[in-house]
Amino acid sequence: MFTQDQPHIRNWINGQFTDPVSALATQYLAVTSPYNAKVIGHVPLSTAADVDQAVAAAKEAFPAWSNRTIKDRAGILIRFHSLMTKHAEQLADMVVLEHGKNKAEALASVLKGQETVEYALSLPQVVQGKMLEVSRGITCHDTRVPLGVVASVVPFNFPVMVPMWTLPIAIAMGNTMVLKPSEKVPFTMTKIVELLKEAGVPDGVVNLVHGTAEPVNALIDHPDVKAVTFVGTSHIAEMVSQRCHKLNKRVLALGGAKNHMISAPDCNIEMTSTDVVNSYSGCSGQRCMAATVLLTIGHQQELIDKIVAKSEALHAGSQAGQVGPVIDQASVDKITRYINEAEAEGARILVDGRPWTKEHQEGFWVGPTVILHTNKQDAALHDEIFGPVLSILAVESAEEALAIENANPYGNAACIYTSSGATADHFIKRFGAGMCGVNIGVAVPREPFSFGGWNKSRFGNHCDITGDGGVEFFSMRRKVTTKWVPQESASWMS
């Protein structure tokens, strides 16, 4: 069944690659490259027994790992960061192969993951705690304590970057981890765990278990897993959150998005059009920060013409500036269904990406698509499509634009394009989103500012997933009050 060109992916448990516990009975799922739909490997559908094995390894490794100083743990991550830099091209090539990003996007995603590693390297200085003499002869101080074994469930769309949202901070804080990669992109993390071991991360500190729903449920339900992070659709994120809460388990589950861009009449047309196109078509639209609805205040024909021209100039491929495929046939079907429905409801298709599906006989392709709407109820204006599709709707006023954006059940990101500081301030204070941009369509914050949306884009404990939010999530505060010298006058604290 497995050949050299179609490797047999294995779990990584206690510092070595391991076959599933029920190796003979385990089923395998084909992994395909989106560029040509060819099978490039097979991933095991692990069971609860495999989760038990991984959690046991992580639990055994926790006492020694957590007893190291944070400076010691960060020193190991310095070596890991160096190895990630050394192997960045190889990791990017793996992302291109298994996910379909173009090479520049893939390399950028590796480097973006490195930013969180770099933040983790600063934690010895960041999490020193506080100390204060609160009364005569009495001091209070706090320290951060790791949780124990934590689980991280990550999606397909960023095989390196999203795992790096959680892994470096979690283990730097002294936790051990079981990570469940997406079954659609298992190769990249398989390489990264080897780099972690080469850097000096002890066996059992980081473990991988592959599969679909069963290992996720097993991780949530496992009594030795103290916290769970999840990134995926809002529907599943809410289910994960509810399941964890029933177990009184710490959880942070990030969901989907429908991000809005608003163009004021005074926007810089050249800059805005370039940024809008990059936002909706970059990474083939498969990112929760893609802004896919443009609300123009008034009819802005010159801006629309520029967006159309720049969208039509995009070509399919794996090189910088080209648009790669989407992840699988189910995604193609979903994206084209929304385009078809919008057209049937009377929307104008200004740029049509559907012909790419026929022009590229192999792989999973949908080209950049621009839809001009007149009906505010069109599904493409409201649902997360997760593809390179931009919906444009003209509105009469800033108040109408904000009303539409605020009515969005998600709350991940929003952007205002304007040349006016007053206009920018007006919108930023009124957006219903956790990450906002001024003339930046993909307003991803950089550490120490943390990543996280609002509303149905985030469920669970009210922390963000990176930066200081990650530190808060992956640790507990211990508060210590100390008295050594008897006080001359008594008080309630004596």
φ, ψ of residue 202 to 5 degrees: the values are: -65, 155
Which are the catalytic amino acids? Answer: 288
φ, ψ of residue 440 to 5 degrees: the values are: -135, 110
- Is residue 343 packed enough to be buried (19+ CB in 10 Å), middle (13-18) or exposed (0-12)? middle
**How distant, in Å, are the alpha carbons of 143, 480, 487 from that of 137?**
20, 14, 7
For the chain, how many residues are written?
A: 494
Q: Crossing angle of helices 161-172/103-121, nearest 10°?
A: 10
DSSP letter string over 340-403?
Answer: HHHHHTT-EEEE--THHHHH--SS-----EEEEES-TT-GGGTS---SSEEEEEEESSHHHHHH
Tell me how far apart the alpha carbons of residues 322 and 333 are, in angstroms, rounded to a whole number.
21
Residue 225's nearest CA partner among 253, 192, 204, 251 is 251
Tell me how far apart the alpha carbons of residues 230 and 223 are, in angstroms, rounded to a whole number.
18
CB 150 within 8 A of CB 99: no
Tell me how far apart the alpha carbons of residues 64 and 69 are, in angstroms, rounded to a whole number.
10
Name residue 12's amino acid.
W
Q: Crossing angle of helices 269-281/301-312, nearest 10°?
A: 50
Give residue for tokens 């007149």. 374
Tell me how far apart the alpha carbons of residues 372 and 313 are, in angstroms, rounded to a whole number.
18
**How distant, in Å, are the alpha carbons of 232, 268, 285, 483 from that of 407?**
22, 27, 22, 54
φ, ψ of residue 21 to 5 degrees: the values are: -55, -45
For residue 388, give both structure tokens.
């390179």
3-state secondary structure of 203: coil
For residue 245, give both structure tokens.
């809460």
**Regarding beta strands 16-18 and 39-44, do their DSSP bridges make them parallel or antiparallel, or are they unpaired?**
unpaired
CB 94 within 8 A of CB 113: no
